Every structure is written in C-alpha cells, then in structure tokens.
C-alpha cells in the first residue's frame, strides 16, 4: 500500500493522470488546438573506461546530457501561431530578410487533471522551430484531419517550480 506521505498534495489519489488533458503556452498565451505533444525525453551519455591493472572490468560515468526535440501537432485552422513562429527563421526573400531577434521562446507544457486544473507543468528553455509542416500529404479518398506540425529544438526542460498545486483530483 502507498503511504499518505507519498502524495503530499492529494493523499487520496492513487491513479495516474491521463495523458489527453494538457495545454501549451508561449508568449504568455495558450496555443489553440494542439492535439499531440511528443514525450519530454532526456538522456545522459555514459563514458566507459578501464583500469590498466584490471583488464576484466570496465566502469561508466555520466557525461553529456541530450534533450530530444519536442513535436507539437494540431489541426490546420486559420490560427497563424505555428506558421508565424516557424517564419522567424525563414524567408522566401533570403537570409537578409530573416531576423533572429525573437526566434527562441520559453514554452510551458501543462498536464491537467479531470477537472482541468494544472497538476504538473514543465518549462522548456530557449525553444526554436527546426521543422515546420504546414500541410500533411493530401488524399482525396481519405477522411482524416489536416495536421500541421512543429518540431522544436531546445536547451532543456525542468519542472515549473512556481506551480501551486491544488488538493483535488
């Protein structure tokens, strides 16, 4: 049995949160219609070495961290937020028309509980768009929604320590 101290905010909750209630925020506003966010994944490379006097054993130690890109997907609408951000590093007029002033953003990914309250929030540092898909492959015999996609490179993420958790499901 799980002890009451294991869950200091909601000691009655033993069920994990579902993954379909979330929202994403940048530039101090929530971005409409995001239907999928890839996993927040961090890996640490291991360095292996051996001692000269002990040829049968090897040792490992942590070295460099890597943060995997984050992919955001949403249905194609008239909202220009994805395209506007992607265009900060692209111009059909060439490099001289590109301004890198605001191409990096801090984004927040929030997980919500059943009542819509934020239960976990992650702050993604210095994200920028490395890939933008404005339209998917179109198929006249299909019946799927048109999805636009952003792939974000970033400099890491951390739990948002400013989040005040409420004692509810």
H helix runs in 4-157, sequence order: 81-86
Are 70 and 153 spatial neighbours (Cβ–Cβ below 8 Å)?
A: no
Q: What is the pLDDT along the chain (169 residues), one digit of tens a residue?
A: 445 455 555 656 678 888 999 999 999 999 999 999 999 999 999 999 888 877 788 889 999 999 999 999 999 999 999 998 998 887 666 666 666 778 999 999 999 998 899 999 999 999 999 999 999 999 999 999 999 999 999 999 999 887 765 544 4
Q: Which among 148, 3, 147, 137 has a CA at the least distance from the CA of 87? A: 148
Q: Which fold has domain 15-41+68-159?
A: Pnp Oxidase; Chain A (2.30.110)
Local structure of residue 112 (DSSP, 8 states): E
Domain extent listing, the chain: 15-41+68-159
Are 11 and 61 spatial neighbours (Cβ–Cβ below 8 Å)?
A: no
Partners of 34 in the β-ladder: 74
Per DSSP, the three-state class of 79 is: coil
Q: Which among 116, 115, 106, 120 has a CA at the least distance from the CA of 154? A: 106
What is the per-residue pLDDT for 57?
A: 85
- Please give the model's pTM, rounded to 2 decimal places: 0.81
Q: Residue 84, CB half-sphere, CA atoms under 13 Å: how many? A: 9
Structure tokens at 100: 């890198």
């Amino acid at each position: 049995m799980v002890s009451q101290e294991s869950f200091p905010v909601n000691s009655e909750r033993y069920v994990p949160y579902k993954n379909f209630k979330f929202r994403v925020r940048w530039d101090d506003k929530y971005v409409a219609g995001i239907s999928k966010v890839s996993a927040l994944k961090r890996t640490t490379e291991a360095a292996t070495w051996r001692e000269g006097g002990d040829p049968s054993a090897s040792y490992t130690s942590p070295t460099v961290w890597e943060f995997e890109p984050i992919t955001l997907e949403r249905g194609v609408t008239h909202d220009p937020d994805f395209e506007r951000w992607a265009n900060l590093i692209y111009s059909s007029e060439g490099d001289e028309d590109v301004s890198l002033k605001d191409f990096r953003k801090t984004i927040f990914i929030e997980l919500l509980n059943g009542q819509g309250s934020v239960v976990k929030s992650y702050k993604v540092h210095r994200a920028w768009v490395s890939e933008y898909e404005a339209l998917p492959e179109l198929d006249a015999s299909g019946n799927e929604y048109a999805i636009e996609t952003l792939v974000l490179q970033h400099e890491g993420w951390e739990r948002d320590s400013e989040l005040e958790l409420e004692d509810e499901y």
